[in-house]
Amino acid sequence: MAQDLSKQKSPTTISNGNGTATPSRLPPVTKKRRSIIRPGAWLILGVVFLAAILYLYLSHQQAAGTTSDSGSHHGGGGAGEPVRVITAKVSRGNIGVYLQGLGSVTPLNTVTVRTRVDGQLMKILFTEGETVQAGQQLVQIDDRPYQAQLAQYNAQKEHDQALLDNAKIDLDRYQKLWSQDSIPQQTLATQQALVKQDQGTVDSDQALIQATQLNIIYCNITAPISGRIGLRLVDEGNLVHATDTNGLLVITQVQPITVIFTIPEDNIQPVLDKMRAGQTLEVDAYDRSGFTNKLAQGSLLTTDNQIDPTTGTLRLRAQFPNDDQKLFPNQFVNVRLLVEMKQNVALVPVAAIQHGTQGAFVYVVDTNANTVKMRNITLSTQDADQAEVTDGLTEGETVVTDGVDKLQNGSKVILSSGGSSTDSGTAHHSPHKQQS
């Protein structure tokens, strides 16, 4: 126990010079603590803090700018600034009800010109693509063999004609002798038969002559119809035959020309009623880009005699003068058939019409207060530019045609000077697609 106590540390003593020691109370020895955050980390934290402040500042500035732009571009919003719009007035005019369909340009006549005789093609007297008239000479075939044959038949006819003349002289002599009872009746009858025989020979010679003359005419081929010539199928110098299947050339009549198109069977009754009443229905032809580029205007010629059961459509043929030849054979076109022209109806521009959950509506301008009000309308006939309004608007009211996307009920507006109050009050002949 004494040893254990002696092992215990005793307090440190310091001599004071007189032989005595006094205990000294020294501070305990402690370990030095290291900093948890290094000096470089403080720099990184400072940079991040400054970046966060800068980001918040810029976000605030951008939000403020967006709010300012929104207020300037969307008048009638929270700031209540007026919206600049373009308007038009409700007018009265005419609008057409049309049936639309896809058609093909079809010539009234197309002729493949062929030779009726055999021979060498000597001359081509036309230019490819040329428009020719009926009776104009187109091709010449070597006719010399037929000329020689004609001379031979003429000579044969002269020989047979001489025999016939001699037989007739003998017949006159025998008739006189028979009247004097100088010859038997059998001799007279034989001579009469000989005259008829020679007459038949002469008639046969004349038929051969006429056939040869016709072949000579066939050697000079002329246009059977007026029209446009296509590309030639045979060149000069070739031998052609009446049995050739390709022919020499093709002539297509282009003035006038027709278009065959179809309409649904549900819409044929109004068309038939108009035709039975003797009315001429107007037909317009447009190119395939749509109903913007008009090619020609004509009239309905006739209808087919039955409905196609596979498509449920009826074919119709319309005729066009085609003076400027804008319609080309076998060309596909869009066709509009005018069924009815509505007179003096209320018209509104299509650009003013909006559609919502409750149907079509427009923004009507109160010109006194310069405000707009939403109003539901009822539409009937409509085309690309105008629409007939049967309910909701009256003639002379002003509607917004441009800038409607920035409006709401009660918004203030400014009429733009660039298109202020366009008036569509003139009579308007416009198409309407009833059913395609």
User: Which CATH entry fits the domain spanning 143-218: 1.10.287.470, 1.10.260.40, 1.10.1660.10, 1.10.760.10?
Assistant: 1.10.287.470
135: phi > 0 → left, psi -120 to 50 → alpha, else beta; which?
left
Q: Which amino acid is at 324?
A: D
pLDDT computed for residue 427 by the predictor = 40
pLDDT computed for residue 219 by the predictor = 96
Q: Which fold has domain 116-142+220-252?
A: OB fold (Dihydrolipoamide Acetyltransferase, E2P) (2.40.50)
In angstroms, the CA 281 to CA 303 distance is: 12
Longest CA span, the chain: 223
pLDDT computed for residue 98 by the predictor = 87
CATH of domain 83-96+342-423: 2.40.420.20
**Would 83-96+342-423 and 99-108+254-341 be classified into the same CATH topology?**
no
Average pLDDT by consecutive 10-residue portion of the chain (436 residues)?
Answer: 43 46 47 54 78 79 49 43 88 87 94 95 93 94 96 96 94 91 90 95 96 96 94 92 92 95 92 91 91 91 93 94 93 92 88 88 88 90 83 89 86 68 42 44
pLDDT computed for residue 5 by the predictor = 41
In angstroms, the CA 96 to CA 383 distance is: 9
| 86 class by beta-carbon count within 10 Å (0-12 exposed, 13-18 middle, 19+ buried) | buried
In angstroms, the CA 36 to CA 34 distance is: 6
In angstroms, the CA 47 to CA 25 distance is: 49
In angstroms, the CA 410 to CA 366 distance is: 10
Q: Which fold has domain 99-108+254-341?
A: Elongation Factor Tu (Ef-tu); domain 3 (2.40.30)
pLDDT computed for residue 297 by the predictor = 94
pLDDT computed for residue 415 by the predictor = 82
- What angle, rounded to 10 degrees, do the helices at 144-179 and 185-218 form? 160
Q: Please state the domain extents for the chain.
A: 83-96+342-423, 99-108+254-341, 116-142+220-252, 143-218
Contacts of 132 (CB under 8 A, 6+ apart): 126, 138, 223, 226, 227, 228, 229, 251
pLDDT computed for residue 171 by the predictor = 93
What's the predicted TM-score (pTM) here? 0.62
